[in-house]
Amino acid sequence: MKKKRLIPVLLLKNGWLVQSKGFKEFKNLGNPITAVKRLSKWASDELIYLDISRDDEYDLRRDDLNTPNRHSIFEILDDISKSTFMPITVGGKIKTIQDIHDRLSRGADKIATNTQALIDPSFITAGAKEFGAQCIVISIDAKLIDGKYRVMSHNGSVATDYDAAQWAHQAQELGAGEIFLNSIDNDGQKMGFQIPLVKSVSEAVKIPVIACGGAGEWSDFAEVFDETSADAVAAANVFQHVDQSVHLAKKYLYEHNYPVRPPELLGVEERL
Amino acid sequence: MTKPICILDYGSGNVRSVYNMMSLLSQDVVISNKPSDLQAASHLILPGVGAFGSSMEKIKEKIPLDLLEELVVTKKKPFLGICVGMQVLANKGYEFGEHEGLGWIPGETKHLEVNDLPLPHVGWNTVSVKKETPLLPETKEDIHFYFVHSYAFSPTDKKTITGITEYGESFCSMVQKDNIMGVQFHPEKSQQAGQILLKNFISL
């Protein structure tokens, strides 16, 4: 049986792992590669890696004198793909077919695109034709405005005319393989997911929906699976603060009979 | 000195991921299509992502197939096909038209029949080991692996099926005929389970 997924999200700003609140406040959490190694050990199902830098400066020098200075997301990707063996989605600054190619060839399995797909929806089709629908994840940042879930572009700063469910459906028709849905209102609030949003989007499409934004308790993940048909739950902040966080969240879901991979810390190794 | 493990190079997208994981398991791994490297190798791995027809075209163009066939079919070097690398073991594939495969294990690669479920089949799913295989230890529990595909290999001789997976229908997710093995999932993306499988393969 195919399983529901639990996905840590890593936000990268200028080469650093950061925490986000409402897409506005950011707190530096340190070296993204160390974080990836930690999350990889804890039986995450996939990783989503979002580059939210506003300029192209990457600098990991402060972390450790022994760590070489890295200048681009590609070198960071190189390191990640050597230390983690699960599907990796990379988003941020993807504007062309070449941008997709460059990320896939450095170890990413899928790319997430947001603003570029809104500016030029045919980019979705072009990407899916070239690399397969499973490679193209449409990232949607939604905000509740006048009772409607509006799709926001440019890192949540510009409101578009699209309703989230409507845009998700259109993206699916254009060839998207997956929807990564983020609630700007719930981001960093730790009050649970925006369930009506997740419900409306996951009912509007057949492709998998990854729900993100607002997880504070392990039971918040369970609520998504209870109330919506989302295929995966994702979170950033909550996984960075608690020791063995992904494992504990997985254990919670597994013990409450949700269809997830077993939570053993070392995967199958111990059982076999 | 040990003999190298050769990951066959024909421009497949996941070759780097396979190489990264193999490098954890062995100090001597090459990505190559040179006859001398194929000959020197202890084990051969055919990675794959993408469509059957275009993969077969690239395989024919880049890899010395007569030599590969001699090494695998006649000299019986351990061979592992991953994803499309397993699908092309068939005689024929039906993705975007009809295409000839390697034909090393009789059968056809066909579209999954999944009713209303979305395709491609992407995500973590379980493999039930149906027959003793050196790739996985015998276990009562199903083992989780990561899948990305819309087509699957259906072998003519059901005895070659070593593992099955459910997605709308039961399909063959592991196949083996003597030294020739194939897995539909991606061990290089399946964390420890994948690592164990690849370690078992190179221990042959």
Q: Which residue reads 């974080």 in tokens?
A: A35
More confident residue, B125 or A21: B125
Mean pLDDT over the full length of chain B? 93
pLDDT range class, residue B1, cuts 50, 70, 90: low
Please provide the average confidence, as pLDDT, over all residues in chain A.
Answer: 86
pLDDT of residue A266: 43
Mean pLDDT score, B180-189: 97
Which range of A36-45, A131-140, B180-189 scores highest in mean pLDDT? It is: B180-189
What's the pLDDT band for B57 if we cut at 50, 70, 90? very high
Nearest to B139 among A131, A178, A271 (CB): A271
Question: Catalytic pick from B83, B99, B108, B172?
Answer: B83
Question: Residue A171's pLDDT is what?
Answer: 98
Average of pLDDT values for B185-198?
93
Under an 8 A CB cutoff, do A86 and B191 touch? yes
Task: Check CB contact of A229 with chain B, cutoff 8 Å.
Answer: no
Q: Is A208 on the interface with B (CB under 8 A)?
A: yes
SS3 state of residue A154: coil
More confident residue, A74 or A201: A201
Q: Is A104 within 8 Å of chain B by CB?
A: yes
Q: How far is CA B130 from CA A61, A73, B85, B175, B198, in A?
A: 51, 43, 21, 10, 19
How far apart (Å, rounded) are the C-alpha atoms in residues B97 and B111? 11
10 Å CB burial of residue B153 (0-12, 13-18, 19+) is: buried
**What local confidence, expressed as pLDDT, does residue A72 receive?**
67
Q: Which of A81, A206, A269 sits opposite B118 (nearest CB)?
A: A206
Task: Compute the count of residue pairs across chains A and B with CB atoms less than 8 Å apart.
Answer: 86
In eight-state DSSP terms, residue B136 is B
Report the distance separating Cα B90 and Cα B102, nearest Å: 6
Could you tell me what percent of chain A has a pLDDT over 70?
A: 86
> What digits encode the pLDDT tens for the residues B16-26?
889 999 999 99
Residues in chain B closer than 8 A to A266 (CB atoms): 192
A129 and chain B in contact, CB less than 8 A: no
Whether the CB-CB separation of A86 and A40 falls below 8 Å is answered with: yes
Where is average pLDDT lowest: A14-18, A54-58, B89-93, B130-134? A54-58
Omega cis (within 30) before B120: yes
Containing A20, the helix (H) or strand (E) segment is: strand A16-21
Instruction: Kindly report the nearest CA distance between residue B193 and chain A, in angstroms.
Output: 6
Helices (H), A1-146: 32-41, 73-83, 97-105, 115-119, 122-131
- Phi then psi for residue A29, to 5 deg, are -110, -5
Residue of A40, A83, A85 to mutate, interface with B, max B Cβ within 10 Å: A85
Asked whether residue A55 carries a pLDDT value surpassing 70, the answer given is no
Least confident of A204-213, A255-264, B130-139, B185-194: B130-139
Residue B189 to residue A86, Cβ atoms within 8 A: yes
Lateral strand order in the sheet of B99-100: B99-100, B92-93, B107-111, B151-155
Lowest average pLDDT, out of A48-52, A181-185, B44-48, goes to A48-52
Whether the pLDDT of residue A69 is over 60: the answer is: no
Between A176 and A37, the more confident residue is A176
Q: Average pLDDT in the B65-78 region?
A: 98
The answer to whether the CB of A138 falls within 8 A of the CB of A112 is yes
Q: Which residues of A touch B167 (CB under 8 A)?
A: 2
Hey, is the C-beta of B78 within 8 angstroms of any chain A C-beta? no
- With beta carbons less than 8 A apart as the criterion, state whether A91 and A50 touch: yes
Q: Which residue has the higher pLDDT, A240 or A199?
A: A199
Q: Match 């799709």 to its residue by tokens.
A: A151
Between CA B165 and CA B117 the distance in angstroms is: 15
Q: Is B43 a catalytic residue?
A: no
* pLDDT attached to residue B48: 87
pLDDT in tens, A127-183: 998 888 889 999 999 999 999 999 999 989 999 999 999 999 999 999 999 999 999
With beta carbons under 8 A apart, name residues in chain A contacting B122: 134, 177-178, 208
pLDDT one-digit tens code per residue, A94-120: 999 999 989 988 889 999 999 999 999
Q: At what angle do helices A73-83 and A97-105 cross, to 10 degrees?
A: 40
Residue in chain B closest to A106 (alpha carbons) equals B16
